[in-house]
Structure 1
């Protein structure tokens, strides 16, 4: 006798608190209160880049054996450098250091993005939607604002406490710049976490984007961003070429400074952090108006000399005097970029749209590209502390206006070329129709239509029928031959007409013979 197996209840694992999907927690802070997580992640986002900058400055202080500066001053300088990475200008007594190394800004921005991703991960795991009347989902808004405010508070405290006799910052401005960097990092993290479901997090923002922003302006955003990236790439490539042509001059400046191994490494890293700024300066020369570095200035056709600080990067400036006439051909580069922007703007819309719509899309994309690049020129300008070097960088408004005009010229050429292509499409289609019709007529007369075998098959069937009628009155021994003849005739007719059946017969069988009874 077989005993029944008892059924035991299944044990269900309880999901950890704060996680809606039952996944394993990412760290010890997943079970902590939300306010604690906000504070800890904000402090962590500020501590990591600040410690890296302080370590770099402290290493340079250790390498300078002849320096009498105490270690506390080096640490304070590193903290001021961390604020400087957020775009906060340094007050140096006689002037201000406002030429920001924007490549260094990636350090706090990446740290903020990493911390914000860990902070918003539980909210991203939850599937519920925000109410349609909300601009931002409530829990995401509370966490994001708390994180940005805490980060800005840390910057305010550092700006208040980190002061030197010859260098300081404004605490309120430090808090504002840190809040902007934190907001950008949180937006970056949120776009990665909620990228496919933004309507669940910011429903009214998404609706406002499609309801109030015109379609031609929405279509111009992506081409303009591509255009800015291409322009900065062109400037960076030109900067690399100029550096390769001026290696000897830069090396001689390094020899005059004699910074040593560690000091030379720190000096090189500091100059590399200004790579986006240098690319913007070179781009302003390609555009036409150029830039000024205190006394010296460089344009598309000239180079003025003057006194400069002993920085190896300034060895890239050309010798004073007029530049070759062939150098003016670089003005075609922004026109080519404008052609690319206009081409992308037209391709994003309907190919067969009206010429006015194509023209509006191209003009909007080129204007937006010029506006964004003008903002880049403004961010690449600033001072280096002294009164003589209080303004360095591109001529913002002239360079922006010249670039916008060149982009519009290239964009209009792209609109003209695409318009000609669109106008040729109906002509090609109209030319193809007569060719297709004539081709069908010739084919039907020659080989396309099979020959008509119906009459021949009918005549053969009638001959076979008459032959059967004549043999029906003969001897009975000729009956099978006559039937076979009829069947063969039907098969031959069927072979000439595939799929057709002979009238009065069944396929594969002989027709029935009519017999007469006794009189």
Structure 2
């Protein structure tokens, strides 16, 4: 027998049989998913019931007040909530701080689930899939119970956001865990994703943070330069101590939304605030709701000179993403490898930002505030600008390193 034959005969043969699924363990994994969903509902009960108890003029029963926590759960997962049964007006608004909190709770429950599954056999995806299913089902039950209150969440619209949040929390737990199931998941990813894609993941994450940073700076500049208008609106509302706390906590929870809208404006896409449209060079006026933070929106008319250069910011962000993507490559890597890695990092950045932008959009159907968020032009503009910046950085760095040889 030849040496090659002997080598082949010593290779392990893949197992053709699989042990039957342990349905009890998978049911427990789904239970952990339910715990992750219920935790956010329990957290929301505290401020809702505190506000109800502290308001002496409230005519709402405690059961109706309790249902508001289910409405909040639905909103956090970008569900639509009708103000009354059969009403034509429904609210869509996911404060992303609350959505991020839901992801954190989902990750904590998923981490405990992975520890429980450490000794099971079978496909690695069965436990996480059961977890996500449990999260979604429990979320639908929570929002379903809220139907007994004055507001009525739409269960169908809750489904996509619940899947995204449950999957994000589970993926985060898998990424940070050393349990056997997590190691199998990482091996699966390594086997099915190219090396350039894996190298692009970290620069893409840094690019998303950079995008949020750009938007946050724009929001801060607007808030500082329009502080008097914000204060005037707050004074006109006269919310009182408790109402003021609730109002400003809600606005702080929406800061990531504002940062994403401002980042979308920086791409050159207009931002729609109902009847108000904020373009790259001018603002088309209209009526806005009396929310203090909206006092920072510039008045109708042309914007200051230089705002039309804002699309350079996403291009520069693309340069940063491309630079970070190339930092993990050797000097002698081919130009093709560098271009592919940088382009994938820019593409992943755009994909994550667009998903977050979708989560951040808001609106009240049947009125002038039917859509709040960046226009659809953000999709092509963001992709082109990030790719352009990444490719420019790649070509420049490749040329610069070539001169040193």
Measured against the shorter chain, the TM-score band is: 0.7 to 0.9
In structure 2, the partner of 1:317 is: 297
In structure 1, the partner of 2:339 is: 359
Q: CA RMSD in A?
A: 2.8
In structure 2, the partner of 1:77 is: 68
C-alpha distance after superposition, 1:170-218 (max 9, x if no partner): 3355456434433332332232222798444564444223xxx4x4444
Q: Structure 1 residues 195 and 302, CA, compared in 2 at 3 Å: closer, same or farther?
A: farther
Q: How does 1:31-430 map to 2 (within 5 A)?
A: 34=25, 38=29, 41-92=32-83, 93-124=87-118, 126=119, 135-136=123-124, 141-142=126-127, 144-163=128-147, 167-174=151-158, 177-194=161-178, 198-200=182-184, 203-209=187-193, 213=194, 215-396=195-376, 398-426=377-405
Deviation of 1:329 (Å): 3.5
CA distance in 2, matches of 1:217, 1:190: 18
Q: Structure 1 residues 195 and 315, CA, compared in 2 at 3 Å: closer, same or farther?
A: farther
TM-score if structure 2 supplies the norm length? 0.83
SS of the residue corresponding to residue 97 of structure 1 reads: strand
Higher-Rg member (1/2)? 1
**How many corresponding residue pairs?**
379
CA distance in 2, matches of 1:38, 1:356: 43
SS of the residue corresponding to residue 297 of structure 1 reads: strand
SS of the residue corresponding to residue 325 of structure 1 reads: coil
C-alpha distance after superposition, 1:255-301 (max 9, x if no partner): 11111111110111111111111001111222212301111111221
Q: Which runs of 5 or more structure 2 residues have no equivalent in the other structure?
A: 1-23
CA distance in 2, matches of 1:221, 1:284: 22
SS of the residue corresponding to residue 303 of structure 1 reads: strand
Q: Structure 1 residues 64 and 246, CA, compared in 2 at 3 Å: closer, same or farther?
A: farther
Which structure is richer in relative contact order (CA contacts within 8 A, separation 6 or more)? 2
Q: Which runs of 5 or more structure 1 residues have no equivalent in the other structure?
A: 1-32, 427-519
Contact persistence 1:63–1:263 (CA under 8 A):
no
C-alpha distance after superposition, 1:29-58 (max 9, x if no partner): xxxx85785576455434432122122122
SS of the residue corresponding to residue 153 of structure 2 reads: coil
Deviation of 1:237 (Å): 2.2
TM-score if structure 1 supplies the norm length? 0.66
Deviation of 1:378 (Å): 2.5
Q: Structure 1 residues 184 and 358, CA, compared in 2 at 3 Å: closer, same or farther?
A: closer
Q: Structure 1 residues 336 and 71, CA, compared in 2 at 3 Å: closer, same or farther?
A: same
CA distance in 1, matches of 2:393, 2:79: 41
Deviation of 1:230 (Å): 0.6
